[in-house]
């Protein structure tokens, strides 16, 4: 049996495609003129001062604009915007314009606030000295409707406050509205001194104790008021108590 040997031989490799490009570039470079000797070329230390002004080179084509029309318009608009943003200095002798001050708009008052302001403009200030001269009692005449409805309120004692608490404690199974109305009725029955100049019977005796029959009479008079008049009196009673407390606080701070 014979053996046959097969031999393989590689074909010669062709030069890569970029080799031709490199050879062409070398050929062109060889044809160019080489620079001459460096004789006569100044050294770096022989160069002119860097701060010296350089000569202006002439424009190759002065008829052709250096910037495009769009770029020139953009620079023009930017310059105008910068000019507007800069503050204008007043000329000599000319006063700078002052900014116009806005007038504050007053807040609209409610009807209750307008009514309170109108009533309190007609009042005589509370005299805290009455506390010492009249047995811890302050009074103030309040012309709610001048010539038609005037009430005089007085401050009350702890005896009367205790009577109100006892009276309300005896009431049974009252709704919230009934409790509120009973409290307002008792408050008016104790705080009112007179109505339209008619003095009510005293609610306490000389010993400071509550006189039950007089309180009942006062409650009867309160319940005869029309509901609108009743509401006006209750509202003004609250303002009266606030004025008394404010006067006390002001007096205490002033004497401190």
**Separation CA 70–CA 148 (nearest Å):** 84
pTM (predicted TM-score) = 0.57
Q: What is the per-residue pLDDT across 176-196, written as a single tens digit (0 to 9) for each?
A: 999 999 999 999 999 999 999
Q: What is the per-residue pLDDT across 63-99, written as a single tens digit (0 to 9) for each?
A: 555 556 667 677 677 667 666 656 666 666 555 556 5
118 C-beta neighbours (distance < 10 Å), count = 10
Are 88 and 211 in contact, with CB atoms under 8 Å apart? no
> What is the Cα 214 distance to its own chain's centre?
54
């Amino acid at each position: 049996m014979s053996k046959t040997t097969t031999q393989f031989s590689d074909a010669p490799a062709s030069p890569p495609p970029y080799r031709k490009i490199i050879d062409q570039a070398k050929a062109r470079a060889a044809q160019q003129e080489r620079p001459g000797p460096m004789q006569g070329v100044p050294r770096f230390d022989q160069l002119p001062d860097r701060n010296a002004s350089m000569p202006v080179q002439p424009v190759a084509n002065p008829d052709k604009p250096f910037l495009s029309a769009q770029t020139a318009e953009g620079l023009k608009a930017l310059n105008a915007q910068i000019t507007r943003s800069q503050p204008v200095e007043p000329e000599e002798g000319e006063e700078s314009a002052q900014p116009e001050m806005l007038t504050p708009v007053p807040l609209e008052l409610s009807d209750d606030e307008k009514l309170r302001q109108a009533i309190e403009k007609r009042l005589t200030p509370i005299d805290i000295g009455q506390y010492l001269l009249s047995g811890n009692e302050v009074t103030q005449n309040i012309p709610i409707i001048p010539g038609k409805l005037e009430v005089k309120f007085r401050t009350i004692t702890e005896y009367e406050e205790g009577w109100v608490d006892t009276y309300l404690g005896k009431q049974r199974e009252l709704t919230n509205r009934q409790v509120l109305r009973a409290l307002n009725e008792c408050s008016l029955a104790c705080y009112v001194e007179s109505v339209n100049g008619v003095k009510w019977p005293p609610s306490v005796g000389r010993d400071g104790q509550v006189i039950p029959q007089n309180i009942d009479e006062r409650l009867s008079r309160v319940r005869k008021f029309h509901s609108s008049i009743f509401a006006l009196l209750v509202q003004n009673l609250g303002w009266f108590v606030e004025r008394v407390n404010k006067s006390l606080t002001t007096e205490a701070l002033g004497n401190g």
